[in-house]
Amino acid sequence: MISATVEDYIKAIYALQRESPTGDAAVTRVAVAMGVTSGTVTAMTHKLRDAGLVKAERYGGMRLTPKGSRLALDVIRRHRLVEVFLVDILKFDWSEVHDEAERLEHALSAKLIERLDAFLGHPTIDPHGAPIPDAKGRLSEVAAIPVHALPKGATATVARVDGRDPSFLGLAARHGLKPGATCSILEQTPEAESVTVAVPGHQPLALSHRAAMRVLAHPATDPPRSTRRIRSPRADDA
């Protein structure tokens, strides 16, 4: 039985690898992500290596093995399906579900999660627009760019809003920035590193570039790549 702590490490390493230019997760960055010391991470790395989940890389880095990547995607699948269930069925607000899913993702068996997936109609994105890995651990990323990378006057479809910060999600929702909404870039102020985005029927919102990193959109000129894949009804049975 893999512990919740191990799953949290694997998920953190997966996220850091994706941001890292070398594809490795540095011990120091894993320590920051997990809120522990580098010594604690090093001790845990031995445990993860013995379990065949990570391999140590040069210069204090580590990388998930195929088994480790598969576990990360399984945890992400559980997390995002729980978020869909909480929003669509239990009618939680989208700003409330991340922390709930952080706990529940460790508690659900493979059998329960496959029943939940079927019950929800095999959703392919979570309430924040993040793609849900399928039962075989395949993830189709949402091809979208941060809103500050769009030119003034551009129109775009909101694809994804970072789901981790409840207060940011509350702000985004008040200004209509939800996946599927059409937004336009009213103002670009590079000197102030800010962008002003408007959704029809809502007050415009000025975002710093840092905050704008959390709102990804498809420019209207590019035909938006569908985030809902057509699949045969039994495609997820494995």
Write out the two tokens for 192.
């102030």
Q: Which stretch in 26-34, 42-50, 116-124, 162-170 sits in contact with Zn ion by CB under 5 A?
A: 162-170
Kindly state whether residue 163 participates in binding Zn ion, applying the rule CB under 5 A: yes
Q: Where are the beta strands (DSSP E) in 132-179?
A: 145-146, 155-161
Question: Cβ distance 108 to 82 under 8 Å?
Answer: yes
Q: Which CB sits closer to Zn ion, 78 or 98?
A: 98
Q: How far apart are CA 8 and CA 4, in angstroms?
A: 6
- Binding to Zn ion (CB under 5 A) within 168-187 occurs at none
Question: Cβ distance 95 to 39 under 8 Å?
Answer: no
Least distance CB 79 / Zn ion (angstroms): 6
Q: How far apart are CA 149 and CA 143, in angstroms?
A: 14
Find the residue with minimal CB distance to Zn ion: 98
Least distance CB 97 / Zn ion (angstroms): 7
Choose, by CB under 5 A, the member of 11, 29, 78, 98 that binds Zn ion.
98
Q: Which CB sits closer to Zn ion, 95 or 184?
A: 95
Residue whose C-alpha is closest to residue 206's, from 157, 143, 147, 161: 147
Least distance CB 52 / Zn ion (angstroms): 27
Interface residues toward Zn ion, by CB under 5 A? 98, 163
